[in-house]
Amino acid sequence: MTAPKGSGTLRLGVAGLGTVGGGLLKLIERQDELRLPGKLEVVAVSARNKSRNRGVDISKFRWVDDPVELALADDIDVVVELVGGSDGPAKRTVEAALRSGKAVVSANKALIAEHGIEIAALAEKHNAHLLFEAAVAGAIPIVRAVKNSLSGVIVSRVSGILNGTCNYILSEMLRTGAAYETVLAEAQRLGYAESDPFLDVSGGDAAHKVLILASIAFGAQPNFAQVQVEGIDKIEAMDIALSNKFDYRIKLVAEAFRSSNGVKCRVAPVLVQKEHPLAQINGPLNAVLVEGEPVGRLTFTGPGAGAGPTAAAVMGDLARLFEGPATPPLGKPAAELLPLITSENGVADQGSFFIGAKLADKPGMFADLTEQLGDAGISIDKLIQESAGDSGAAPIAILTHPCPRASVEAALAKIAELKITADTPRLLRIETRA
């Protein structure tokens, strides 16, 4: 595979001038302070709104309305795709650039996660660089670490906190005791959450990211439909408070791991012991754990989003372009990647679980609850029941011994049918590994 055109200078076309795009242009203005092997020259830019104030002078660059036109320009060596979205202009721009043999640097996690195979194959066919460090965990150099630095490690599991919005919400709910809706509104005010937070709080954003890591770490085909996803929008303040009394923290954990029949990917709120590395990650920070032989566990932490961290990751990829020929974007050639597998029984087949609920204010509800669990073969490890107070419903938290998830789900369905609880119980997996 050949290196990008240009001798010592890379000519850039930047598509997308939002928060990250503006941050990148500011960083390029200071490139003399960086440790780059060559020079970066911005030739042209493209965005939806030419007149928007981005805090940086774009008048010195050629303006292009259509990012695909930018991707086809003869005086551009590298297309920096910061448009976002899995389809539409972003996909067309990346495809056009790769077909032209141009290098592509992208921060677009959705595009890589949902179309990674076809785009990687296109890059390989045209001997073009396709780099996307900024798509996962912001300033944490985890993509290159897994793809290159840890290529001598037999990876067994990649897990972590990959969405700063969710981690901020869960951290603040623990710190303040406030309700989910209250903390979400504050996260939006501070800029940690979008006005439409669905992709973050549903777990979709973290799923995109862990899928990319799974592809690189395990040689698996990125197939978003195969990722098992749960969000945090059903978590209540009482769940966080009661799990804390058990010395657990609730975190949205994204993980990919080898199982007996293949590679699995899942995202879900999980209880982790307070001594666990992920329990120590608070606020909008990200963390990634890589486990394998012969190194054991490696921990990477840092800011996972924002103009500065993401722009820094893009700059790292631009520096990589000076180093030599392109390599397969997903580690192995696209044709050699193996399918992901999906568990038939939900987000976790077997394990220990947390059940959070409010007992209805009627006699015998506690006995009815434990009876239904017992009938389903579920053994209780620990239990906390608090006073009903003025609410008339008593908060309760149960930790189970290991059991099939399907059994717990069946028991909770029966409990709902009998109206034993005053709310819909929350079922969360417990991470038993320290």
The mean pLDDT of 11-25, rounded to a whole number, is 95
What is the band of 389 on the pLDDT scale with cuts at 50, 70, 90?
confident
- 3-class DSSP assignment, residue 318: helix
209 is a catalytic site residue: yes
Q: Return the residue matching tokens 């969360």.
A: 428
pLDDT of 1 higher than 70: no
Asked if residues 251 and 267 have their Cβ atoms less than 8 Å apart, the reply is no
Q: How confident is the model at residue 343 (pLDDT cuts 50, 70, 90)?
A: low
3-state secondary structure 139-195: CCCHHHHHHHHCCCCEEEEEEEECCHHHHHHHHHHHHHCCCHHHHHHHHHHHCCCCC
Average pLDDT over residues 376-382: 96
| pLDDT tens digits for range 228-281 | 999 999 999 999 999 999 999 999 999 999 887 778 999 999 999 999 999 999
Q: What structural domains does the chain harbor? A: 9-135 (3.40.50.720), 142-303 (3.30.360.10), 350-430 (3.30.70.260)
pLDDT value, residue 396: 95
pLDDT at 41 over 60: yes
pLDDT in tens, 148-192: 999 999 999 999 999 999 999 999 999 999 999 999 999 999 888
pLDDT tops 90 at residue 403: yes
What's residue 262's pLDDT?
79
pLDDT band at 110 (very low <50, low <70, confident <90, very high): very high
Please answer whether residues 244 and 174 qualify as being in contact, where contact means their C-beta atoms are separated by less than 8 angstroms: yes
Active-site pick, 209, 251, 264, 332: 209
